[in-house]
Structures are given as C-alpha cells and as structure tokens.
Structure 1
C-alpha cells in the first residue's frame, strides 16, 4: 500500500502564494474571503501549504533592497511584480519535500545568516567575547570577530546587544541605513518601515549614518533614525524592551497598532477592522500565548475575534 503523501504539491504551494498576495497585500472582499475558506477546506494539504507559505513570507525581508521594495509596493502598478517575486517562496518552500535545506542555494542574506529566528521565536546568544545578544521574532544577524574589532550585521528584524565592557575592541553594528559603534553599550535596534529604532540603556553609542554626520546617543535615549540619517526622539505606546522578557507591554496603544505588533509573533494573517482600530489597549501580555492575548482582547474591549482558520484571524466590532 503506498505511503500517503505528507507534503503539499507544488500546485498547492502556488495556490497558497496566490492567496497570500490577495489577503496580505490587497483588501479582500467578502467574496474573496469565502473563496479562500472554500479552498482551504477543499484539501488537508491546502491548510498545510497555507501555514508554511504564510510563515515563510517574511523571508522576503531578506531580499535585496530594491527587489524587496518593489515586492512590497502597495501601488496597483506593482502588483504583478509583487506576485512574481512571491513565487520565490515556492522555491524556498518545496524543492520536492518542503526541505529547509532547499533554501540555501538561493543565497538570500537572511537564510544564510549566522543566527536567525522564525516567526514567534526569540533567541539568546553569547558571543565569544562575553557579549550577550538577543534576537526577536523573524530576525537575522551575522557576527564576525577579528583582532581589531567586533562586527555584527543586522540582516533584518530586531535585536539587543549587551556588550562586554572588558573587551577593548570597538563593537560595530552594520545596518541598512549605516553603522553604529560602541564599546560598553547596552542597546536595542529594530528595523522599521522608515529606518531604525535605537534605544540605549547603558553606555554610549555612536551613530554613523551613510548620508549624515555622526551622532552620539547616550543612556536613556530612544531615537528613530530615518533612511537619510536624521534623528528624532521616539514616541512609543509601549516598552520596546518588553519582548526580551517574553512580554508585550503597552500603554494606551491603539488596537490597530497592537494587532500589528502581535502579528509579528504568529504565522498567518491578523486583521483589525478600521472601526475598532483606535480603541486603546494597556497591559502586559505573555508573547508565548498569542491565543490567550486574543481572548483577553475580546474580554476587555467591545470587539469580537473571528477565526476564519487558525492562521487567519479578524478582529471586528462586537
């Protein structure tokens, strides 16, 4: 008796990618949502293909900058190009058996990074110099030490560094908008849509943007760095360091913003209806249990949480 096929076929992966484009980058109609539900229920492997493609979709962040920008451009003119680039996920995902190793030959930076995390994963690292590094969800770094310096490249995502002050070598951090330098700093870096968020807890960090004069950022400061290198104080509705303790800690954060944050930690799609997006959320939530977070939202706010599937959640007015 033949062994049942455990992995989705290439055609199912292609279909899942098509649905990802429609649901994540466009505004789906009620008809589109019904059609997606019908497709999802029509075969068990469709759900598996959707799960894996939706969690792998963020690998696009590791593509070269111009390609990634074209892929994620929201204009109608770019939608065909975006669809073509998302087809790369099929190559990443299957290779005949959904083998993770199949992604390696593509040479995508995040896939070949020294250390990386998947969606919802956080990771603690210890450098050979005694420095401590933490990676947040869906992040990747390269780390290179030499006699003269310590070099960390933020390939994508979010990280913290607690540099060992007993090591006299400068600690350099390379990012897509420029470099940072410290020796004894404790800092947080997060890529944003417009540049970088930099928060410094200890020590001093020298910021060397690619197209602006160097700047000093000191302990207690939290700044947003634009792609042009300009700095402005960061105004946040929560504790940016919370994830290092496994929590999402917020104060009067608009629900739409909160849902976007939560979506970083779970595969699939989480949508918030515009009618409830300005409701305020406060509290400390355990990131290890996003289902419980959604339950708490439904209990504490005038909203309902609808599960189209485990990987597609909508938050609407109650």
Structure 2
C-alpha cells in the first residue's frame, strides 16, 4: 500500500498546476512570487511536482490569455468549486495539444507507475505469469512478482484481473482500503475516495480489511467503505461493461450516469438538479462520449450546453 508520505502527492500536483495557471494567466506581484518560492521550499515533493508541471511552460506561451480568463471567470459565475476551477485551468493546457496533460493530474506515485492510462483510455496487459490484466480509464498499477507470490498495487482507478490458474503462487492486490488475495480468480477492483468495489466472475477472492477476512465468490460483488466496513451489493450498472468498451446501465438516475460518464472524458460534465432524477437505461459505446450525450438529448427532456469542449452542462430542455 502507499506509504503515508505518498498520500499528499495528489494535492501537491494539484497545487503545482494551480501555481502554473496563476503564474501564466494572472498578474503575479512580488508577494505572489514570494509565496510561490515558499511553497517550493516546504517539501521536496513540491519541487518535483513543479518540475513535472512546469515542463508545459513553453506550450502555455501560445495559449490565449483571454480564453483562460473567460473560462475561469465563467466558472466563478456558475458557482463551480475551487478544485473544479483548477481542473478547468489545467484543461486549458490540454487544449494546446499537450500529451502529458491529456489525463487528469496524477499524484507522483502514479506518474512513476509501471503502467497507467489516460482519461478515456483502456489498456490490456499480460503479466509475466500469463495472467491477463486490463486497466480502465485514468488508472495506474505497479506489478511485483517474486518466487513466492504475485503482487499488483492499484494506485488509482480500476483494474480487471484474469489470473493464470496454472501458476500456483498466490496473487495479491494492494489498495488503500484492503488487500485482496486469490489463486485463480477472475475479478475486477475499482478504487475511489469512497472505498472499493470488488466483483468476482470466477474463483474465490479473499478481501482483508481487518481481523476477519471476507470471502467473495463467483457472481458476487462487494462494496468496501473507506473505513473498512463492507456489504454485498447489486450495482445499477454492469461493472464488467467497460472491459468490452461499453457503459451498460438499468434505471440509473441521470446524475449518477453523468458522474460515471465523466470518468471517461476530460473536463467537467455537470448535471442540473432539475434533471438529476431522470432515469437512464441502455448500453452505450465508450469510444465516443459526445455521441452518448447526443443520445441522452434524444431520449430524455434535456439539452446539452457546451461552454467549451471540456466544460459541458446537461440542463432541462
């Protein structure tokens, strides 16, 4: 599992992006420059985060300042949170055609991960043991195999594992909330700020969150909260759908559907409270999220408002 010193990495990268946006698009005076230098000196990881982010400086020189100001001022009028304003600012950088920022800002451990995916990207891998591994959108993993065990650390996002049953070494998956163990299981693990979702398609998986391990069998899905509590659940969407490139849901509130869809596209996708409880059912191809938005507008009494390509609101028609 990540060490305590790694935990603030996401915040440090966010802070570096915040400084990048402020220094590039604002009018920083001596006080701001002094605060920036003070922030750099607070922790070695601040300097490393800034080094990563500041490599974008040359590209930012060609990005119109008026565009950034209009976008960020508009976000303030819309009441968007400071973190979402930061995300919009970072995505202005994406608009200049950068590769590194094509996904949401990752923490330092994720940036150095063995394998990672961008927002909207999925990737298939094969472990040295013959196991098949697939990463979902905006995910990152480390792999460590030894003579006695196989180990995968899920640093961010979601992964599916089809363990090679011919290899008799136990396979462990480390997350922030729990460690999972299997021998020949086919399973899916999704990690978020709220905890874990563990779905098992084949075999048996042991979830270790405390003194009493929990066994999850084929066909079962377990939700593990951040505090370690757990319960069996029936998800409103097919948890395995993304492995086939689809988002498949049945009677899911539009607000929840939008939150799920937002994982697969860069930027802000927001749902107005007036339409949040409309129900969505169907199977949607994740390869084109704009087409999914068009389908929503055809099937529901909603309109899709594009403020920019990275900022979309869904309102009542």
TM-score (norm 1): 0.72
Are 1:272 and 1:314, in contact at CA under 8 Å, matched by a contact in 2? yes
Query: 1:232 aligned to 2:280?
Result: no
Aligned residue for 1:109, secondary structure, equals helix
Of 19, 24, 29, the match for 2:77: 29
> How far has the Cα of 1:213 moved from its partner?
1.6
> How far has the Cα of 1:216 moved from its partner?
1.0
Name the residue aligned to 1:67: none
Structure 2: distance between partners of 1:142 and 1:179: 14
Name the residue aligned to 1:315: 314
Structure 2: distance between partners of 1:22 and 1:125: 42
> How far has the Cα of 1:11 moved from its partner?
9.3
Structure 1: distance between partners of 2:79 and 2:230: 45
Equivalent pairs counted in the alignment come to 250
Name the residue aligned to 1:191: 191
Query: 1:8 aligned to 2:56?
Result: no
Structure 2: distance between partners of 1:142 and 1:22: 39
Name the residue aligned to 2:146: 146
Distance 1:17 1:138, change over 3 A: farther
Distance 1:261 1:21, change over 3 A: farther
Distance 1:302 1:181, change over 3 A: same
Distance 1:218 1:55, change over 3 A: same
Query: 1:156 aligned to 2:156?
Result: yes
> What do residues 136-184 of structure 1 show as CA deviations (whole Å, max 9, x unaligned)?
0000000011100001000010000000000000001111012110000
Distance 1:12 1:51, change over 3 A: farther
Superposition pairs of residues 201-216 of structure 1, within 5 angstroms: 201-209=201-209, 211-216=210-215
Structure 2: distance between partners of 1:239 and 1:54: 30
Distance 1:248 1:11, change over 3 A: closer
> How far has the Cα of 1:220 moved from its partner?
1.0
Are 1:16 and 1:50, in contact at CA under 8 Å, matched by a contact in 2? no
> What do residues 30-89 of structure 1 show as CA deviations (whole Å, max 9, x unaligned)?
598xxxxxxx9xxxx877259889854442xx3xxxxxxxxxxxxxxxxxxxxxxxxxxx
Name the residue aligned to 1:289: 288
Aligned residue for 1:157, secondary structure, equals strand
> How far has the Cα of 1:234 moved from its partner?
2.1
Distance 1:119 1:31, change over 3 A: closer
Are 2:104 and 2:266, in contact at CA under 8 Å, matched by a contact in 1? no
RMSD between superposed Cα atoms in Å:
3.0
Superposition pairs of residues 253-272 of structure 1, within 5 angstroms: 253-272=252-271
Aligned residue for 1:138, secondary structure, equals coil
Name the residue aligned to 1:273: 272
Structure 1: distance between partners of 2:253 and 2:68: 31
> How far has the Cα of 1:235 moved from its partner?
3.5
> How far has the Cα of 1:309 moved from its partner?
1.2
Name the residue aligned to 2:112: 112
Distance 1:47 1:246, change over 3 A: closer
TM-score (norm 2): 0.72
Superposition pairs of residues 54-93 of structure 1, within 5 angstroms: 55-59=102-106, 62=107
Are 1:55 and 1:268, in contact at CA under 8 Å, matched by a contact in 2? no
Name the residue aligned to 1:101: none
> What do residues 217-240 of structure 1 show as CA deviations (whole Å, max 9, x unaligned)?
111110101122221122321101
Of 80, 85, 95, the match for 1:48: 95
> How far has the Cα of 1:212 moved from its partner?
4.1
Unaligned runs of 5+ in 1: 33-39, 63-107
Kindly report structure 1 stretches of 4+ aligned residues shifted beyond 6 Å. 10-13, 17-22, 50-54
Query: 1:241 aligned to 2:248?
Result: no
Unaligned runs of 5+ in 2: 1-56, 81-87
Name the residue aligned to 1:96: none
